[in-house]
Amino acid sequence: MNAFVAAGRAWLAQDPDATTREELTELLSRVEQGDAEAAADLEDRFSSRLAFGTAGLRGTLGAGPNRMNRVLVAQAAAGFAAYLAERAGDATPTVVVGYDGRRNSDVFARDSVEIFAGAGLRAILLPRMLPTPVLAFAVRHLGADAGVMVTASHNPPDDNGYKVYLGGADDGAQIVSPADAEIAAHIQRVADNGDVTILPRSVGYENAPESLVEAYIAATAAVAPAPAGAEGLRWVYTAMHGVGWETVARVLAEAGYPEPTVVAAQIHPDGRFPTVAFPNPEEPGAMDLAFETARAVDAELVIANDPDADRLAVAIPDAEAEGGWRRLTGNEIGLLLGWRAARSASTGSLACSLVSSPGLQVVAEHYGLDFRATLTGFKWISRAPGLVYGFEEALGYLVNPDTVRDKDGISAAVAFLGLVAAARAEGRTVSDLLQEFRDTFGAFASDQISVRVTDLSEIGAIMASLRAQPPSAVGEVAVERIDDLLQGVDGLPPGDVLRIWLADGSRLIVRPSGTEPKLKLYLDVRGSSAKKARRRLDALRAGAEALLVSLR
């Protein structure tokens, strides 16, 4: 324990943040008084550090290398600057930085641009808190070598993160291997050198002009200018306490859509996320205020963005659903938007993560387009050759790959509003569109089981058990084959994913979450009708839950 106390004191000496210094000072005092709980907390903070990977950094705010804080961000910025300088050779790299409305996002962003500028890079800071898609757009629009977005997206309120994009040959996409390991090595060298207070800093960074935001708005509005059926559309929008609304409102005005009724309690940025347990539209209860608002105004549609507006959720009236509203699954939205993209594309590919609905492949084949299944995450989807559209079931959609090489909940919202308005002009609803899709391509049904854990080793143990003793059946349906993506399958990079194919054509995929302490199971079936697909899905879910019980 003395080693952790010494590490804590060394950390205090370089921490520029009064809040985390006070937090750590109190913790060290409790440890020195023999407080066992405090000792365990200190060990958790200093026995390891947040790993820099293909999702960048993400973790709980607090003091210590295993938390998100100004020391860790300074190390990350200095390490990333060294990586970019090495990559650029004699040229001067340009890096653009954005931030959302979470706690300390603005502080982390300014620390970053000061360190980038101090390292001799051309550093550009977005003009204010803005959605992640604006940062992703800015990397390409400015011809930057890299971008950093300070956000933890839809994670719990006490989290923050550091998402990294690369320009040039990477075309503004998120980093993938081996860049992640190379950047991590540079960051570790900075950390090993100790005191971040000696890192050179400069206030000679640039502030991005408002014209950059206007360019994003114009490009996004052009995704689906409002057709005639948009007039009089009654709909509700929530920003989930995030940064989406200002940009969304400007896009709507330029594209010609009627203003929505907003969920007033959730429309402005608030890093405390006071009305939701988790600021994620997928979580139970997160859209309750939106549904309440929709009932009050007799809305036809509800649209939600997550806090950094890179995801999109949609809900529609449904008399059979509790409260009269049903949130569409990510796969339902993704397949409708994929169908929209396929109808207007003559060449190219549709792509989705391997855990998303297999229905997109059927759409691609129907229209003579290529199809690509990728590992989970838009860092992979955005790199699909000839991409015209991509999605993942976790409410992520890329509808304008020539503009943004990442999921974008704002352009996806515009595209979906275009679908709704065009159908409305014909006297049809979203439910009618879903039925037409089933009639054309078959009834695909999906479900998901998420197991949240407090000890990450539990996830590793379950995955190890599945590999050591693979099931011969899930429920009453025999297992036909199992693809272990650690071994590399279908040309995909290795990943900690098990894909279980059943004799009736159903599919079960098991993988750890890349952003949260969860094990995720993805269930996919296809039937000749929605009712038959639902029955098959219910049976698969029961079998998967029984399998989980046997493994825990």
In whole angstroms, what is the distance from residue 126 CA to residue 119 CA?
A: 19
Do both 77 and 186 map to the same domain? yes
Token pair 């890079």 in the structure block, residue:
121
CATH, residue 391: 3.40.120.10
pLDDT over 80 at 18, yes or no: yes
In whole angstroms, what is the distance from residue 222 CA to residue 281 CA?
A: 26
pLDDT the model gives residue 456: 85
Do both 175 and 316 map to the same domain? no
* Least confident segment among 139-148, 260-269, 329-338, 504-513: 504-513
Domain boundary among 388, 413, 440: 440
Q: Which of 105, 153, 353, 446 is catalytic?
A: 153
pTM comes to 0.94
pLDDT the model gives residue 502: 95
| Pairing verdict, β 498-502 and 477-484 | antiparallel
Average pLDDT over residues 357-384: 95
- What is the number of structural domains in the chain? 4
Token pair 């210094």 in the structure block, residue:
21
Could you give the percent of the chain with pLDDT greater than 70?
100
pLDDT the model gives residue 454: 85
Token pair 């059926």 in the structure block, residue:
229
pLDDT the model gives residue 291: 98
pLDDT the model gives residue 239: 98
Average pLDDT over residues 305-309: 98
pLDDT over 80 at 515, yes or no: no
- Of 247, 278, 474, 509, nearest to 392 (Cα)? 509
Cα four-point dihedral sign 62, 64, 66, 69:
positive
b/e burial code for range 65-101 (CB count within 10 A of at least 16 → b): bbbbbbbbbbbbbbbbbbbbbebeeeeebbbbbbbbb
pLDDT the model gives residue 1: 57
Look at phi and psi of residue 63 and say left if phi exceeds 0, alpha if psi is from -120 to 50, else beta.
beta
Token pair 């007799």 in the structure block, residue:
298
Known active-site residue 153: yes
pLDDT over 70 at 156, yes or no: yes
Do both 231 and 368 map to the same domain? yes
Q: Whole-angstrom distance between the N-terminal and C-terminal Cα of the chain?
A: 32
Q: Which domain holds residue 169?
A: 52-208
Do both 457 and 524 map to the same domain? yes
Do both 463 and 404 map to the same domain? no
Average pLDDT over residues 31-46: 95
DSSP state of 395: T
pLDDT the model gives residue 128: 97
* E strands in 78-215: 94-99, 122-125, 146-150, 159-166, 173-174, 206-207
**CA trace torsion 210, 205, 122, 137 (10° rounding):** -30
Do both 31 and 134 map to the same domain? no
pLDDT over 70 at 261, yes or no: yes
Do both 404 and 450 map to the same domain? no
Domain boundary among 440, 472, 487: 440
pLDDT in tens, 239-249: 999 999 999 99
Do both 201 and 219 map to the same domain? no
528 falls in which pLDDT band (50, 70, 90)? confident
SS3 at position 313:
strand
Average pLDDT over residues 160-186: 95
**Residue 415 near residue 404 (C-beta atoms within 8 A):** no
CATH, residue 538: 3.30.310.50
* Least confident segment among 173-182, 198-207, 400-409, 452-461: 452-461
- DSSP H helical segments within 152-178, as ranges? none
Do both 76 and 20 map to the same domain? no
In whole angstroms, what is the distance from residue 66 CA to residue 508 CA?
A: 33
pLDDT the model gives residue 408: 98
pLDDT over 80 at 300, yes or no: yes
Average pLDDT over residues 25-51: 95
Average pLDDT over residues 17-33: 96
In whole angstroms, what is the distance from residue 247 CA to residue 304 CA?
A: 14
In whole angstroms, what is the distance from residue 526 CA to residue 396 CA?
A: 22
pLDDT in tens, 273-291: 999 999 999 999 999 999 9
Do both 4 and 17 map to the same domain? yes
| Pairing verdict, β 235-238 and 146-150 | unpaired
For residue 32, the tally of other CB atoms under 10 A from its CB is 12
Do both 474 and 381 map to the same domain? no
Number of H helices, E strands in the chain: 17, 22
Do both 244 and 353 map to the same domain? yes
Which residues make Cβ contacts (< 8 Å) with residue 474, sequence separation at least 6? 500, 502, 506, 508, 540, 543, 544, 547
Residue type, 31: V
- Of 40, 43, 45, nearest to 68 (Cα)? 45
On the 0-12 / 13-18 / 19+ scale of CB atoms within 10 A, 218 is middle
pLDDT in tens, 406-462: 999 999 999 999 999 999 999 999 999 999 999 999 999 999 998 888 888 889 999
Domain boundary among 179, 208, 237: 208
pLDDT the model gives residue 552: 77
